[in-house]
A and B are shown apart, each in its own frame.
Chain A
């Protein structure tokens, strides 16, 4: 397997990087962050029309570019480096990752909307009684005639306030944690019975807690039945998890370079603080962690792109490593900036907050360490058998 980017991926990276440095400066981002709705429709349109990246991960037959997890990685790293607020992860990677695996005609139609730039998604899967497991589901989808009726509560649904469509996991049967009986349905956030409590997350992005009170789901809105839904959810969550690792790689890179630049400028005791060896060593540690995070993210993307047998295990390893790196590198970056680091004024605190959010999003380092262990045991027992 090659760790070099293809020519096309290099082009993609360069054009997105150029676009973001022209149009998404820290000041431009601050305007978006402090305004309503907290993301920019103009930028989103440019993603669709100028860059064409909203179709990156979809088949050419669906109007996409036919990219794979490596293309997603390249994009997410750039989006991370510019700390982009727009719901690319939620819509294209996670929402799109679910839809492209669903056979329902509505899925194909919705993908078309994404590629064209007028559909945005959020995947409502986490619930208040769960910690990080997607299969801890109590939300019910009860049959009523040909339709289903949805009732339950989802918590911290990323991107929901910006979404035109929600994909919701629910049970038609089975108990808490059972994979049997889990289905995926497409819900209009404005449908009767859906209520959102929208809010910002600490990194300035959007999320919501959502109540579904007897929401009617027509038969065509069932995207995946219980035979296929669990596999689809796991695959899409793995892709999204790998994607935030790539986003983190971009963020960590910025945290390192901003810190190096700041400490070279800032003088105390008659010298740049970068000349103090203890700070140099700390920055070297940050650099090493950032390099290894990028490598782990790359590994995870490659394994997913190749549909390797140890794809999920590789993603768990990457997220466990990158999650801890986010905390360590982030905290060092703040510390080395002194009081400037804890203000809202410099970019570093904004990168730090996103890094801290990524540590938790799609499961903490502890969660993925556990998963890694379990998946390793699973593989060992398969080999033994």
Chain B
């Protein structure tokens, strides 16, 4: 079977391990172990980005002409696996995974030459300006206006839930350039530096107490027409192309398996009533087994669908939605069990020990620091990138023809 590893693959795995051994230093490991956000904090993300960039491994999915490493899909999977096992920082993908494919497909040569190398090096840190206060699930109703004025658009309105806008120096955004016809018909895709006059950022604190998302205000911000990707009023096609990557990118089987391994480590060290450890508690074991089987079901579904995509079946949107739906809901179940595994130590607010600036010692065992914050932050995964309800609506339409 095609999925079996060759000797070459094993040699590649050794190379990745040796790299992680050398570059994912104890200091970085300690910092990363105290991260509970959807993505690593800005500073840590930048440091790790730089390290991968220097090795040429920052953009596994990119074609070699733009600086990708030219790996086989199997090598890409091995890299992802080894990074997940080692627990490397979760890098925000707004630039490398979301905006990059758009630039490659819709960008002009000049745009490609300017943006892609800077994205690769980490000089540009991107954020995503899709959602608005009145336009969440109904993205096409967005109202941030862009009015043409000579060689510029003048942009006014507000974006919200903008992840890492406080760290980013570039934003890609959807704007309304026309109110004619269907709402989808008047949208354009722009990019702007975050320090453009008229942009301001308001932090939004999440229920875990962390600051990951923001509201971004545009007050007559001038964006050069040259910063548009794709044609005017055809931004919706661009936006949807990007969403395929947001929903379906990468394999979710690997990070979910690793999350289960972490849970096993916790359970081995946790006390149980009536068993030597929680790991030996029969009820817990059944809960764990159920989740393991669900991860297998998803991982094999992903492999099967990837095969079909190669065979040219058009399941693009359906596959991406199915993956996003299952992976986010399953991820939440694992987060839930990981938190509950801690017993009463699920309850302390560990904020003093969380994040890169934190210096307090954990309350209870070291492994109790992150699961509750991850559980709280993980609630968002069935909301962002298209909620579970929206994914089900898409599947009903696309997969079932309803």
Over the window 187-229 of chain B, the binary record of Cβ atoms lying under 8 Å from chain A Cβ atoms (1 yes, 0 no) is 0000000000000000011110100010000000000000000
B316 at the interface (CB under 8 A from A): no
**Cβ A344 vs Cβ B376 within 8 A:** no
| Cβ-based interface call for B383 (8 A) | yes
Say which one of A93-101, A129-137, A219-227 lies at the interface with B: A129-137
Decide: A132 and B343 in contact? CB cutoff 8 A: yes
Residue B348, interface by CB 8 Å = yes
Among A126, A269, A270, A341, point to the contact of B344 (Cβ < 8 A).
A126
Is there an interface contact between A209 and B364, defined as CB atoms closer than 8 Å?
yes
B39 to chain A, nearest CB (A): 15
Give the dominant DSSP class at A's interface. Answer: mixed
Residue on B with the closest CB to A349? Answer: B207
Q: Is A29 an interface residue (CB 8 A)?
A: no
Inter-chain CA distance A109–B95, complex, in Å, is: 66
Indicate if the CB atoms of B379 and A156 lie closer than 8 Å: no
Query: Is the pair B136, A338 in contact by a Cβ cutoff of 8 Å?
Result: yes
Which residues in B have their C-beta under 8 angstroms from that of A357? 347
| A341 CA to B377 CA, complexed, in Å | 11
Whether B206 and A344, one on each chain, are in contact in the complex, defined by CB atoms closer than 8 angstroms, is: yes
Pair A155/B364 contact, Cβ less than 8 Å: yes
A334-B379 in contact given A131-B272, A131-B273, A339-B384 (Cβ < 8 Å): yes
Query: 1/0 contact trace for A343-359 toward B, CB 8 Å?
Result: 11100011011001101
Residues of A within 8 A of B (CB): 126, 128-133, 136, 155-156, 197, 199-204, 207, 209, 267-270, 276, 278-279, 327, 331, 334-335, 338-339, 341-345, 349-350, 352-353, 356-357, 359-361, 364, 366-367, 370
Q: Does B399 contact A (CB under 8 A)?
A: no
Q: What residues of chain B lie closer than 8 Å to A202, measured between beta carbons?
A: 346-349, 372, 376
| Docked CA distance A197–B361 (Å) | 11
A128 touches B364 (CB 8 A): yes
Of all chain A residues, the one with the shortest Cβ separation from B140 is A269
Does A130 contact B271, Cβ atoms closer than 8 Å? yes
Partner pick for B348 among A201, A269, A352, CB 8 A cutoff: A201
Chain B residue at smallest Cβ distance from A268: B138
Q: How many residues of B contact A (CB 8 A)?
A: 48
| Docked pose: A367 CA to B278 CA in angstroms | 12
Encode B147-174 as 1/0 by CB contact (under 8 A) with A. Answer: 0000000000000110000000000000
Q: Give the CA-CA distance A364 to B283 in the complex, in Å.
A: 13
Q: In the bound complex, how far is the Cα of B272 from the Cα of A130, in angstroms?
A: 7
Residues B389 and A364 in contact, CB atoms below 8 Å apart: no
A338 touching B387, Cβ below 8 Å: yes
Residue among A200, A350, A352 with the highest chain B CB neighbour number at 10 A: A200
- How long is the Cα–Cα vector from A131 to B276 in the complex, in angstroms? 11
B339's nearest neighbour on chain A, judged by CB, is A356
B299-334: CB near A (< 8 Å → 1, else 0) gives 000000000000000000000000000000000100
Q: Which residues of A contact B273 (CB under 8 A)?
A: 130-133, 136, 367, 370
Report if B252 contacts A (CB, 8 A).
no
B283 with A344: CB separation less than 8 A: no
- B138→A156 contact, CB < 8 A: no
Does B71 reach chain A (CB closer than 8 Å)?
no
Q: Kindly report which residue of chain A lies nearest to residue B207, judged by CB atoms.
A: A349
A209 near B379: Cβ-Cβ < 8 Å: no
Question: Closest chain B residue to A330 by CB distance?
Answer: B379
**Residue in A279, A342, A360 whose beta carbon sits within 8 Å of that of B207 in the complex:** A342
Question: Quick one: given A129-B271, A133-B273, A279-B389, are A207 and B205 in contact (CB under 8 Å)?
Answer: no
B136 touches A268 (CB 8 A): yes
- Considering the complex, give the chain B residue whose CB is closest to the CB of A360: B346
Is the beta-carbon distance between A156 and B387 smaller than 8 angstroms?
no
Residue of A nearest to B138 (CB): A268
B residues in contact with A344, CB < 8 Å = 205-207, 209
A-B contact pairs, 17 of them (CB 8 A): A132-B273, A156-B344, A156-B364, A278-B389, A335-B383, A338-B136, A338-B137, A338-B387, A339-B136, A342-B206, A342-B383, A344-B205, A344-B206, A349-B207, A350-B207, A364-B340, A367-B273
Q: In whole Å, how far is A20's beta carbon from the nearest beta carbon of chain B? A: 22
Interface status of B336 (Cβ within 8 A of chain A): yes
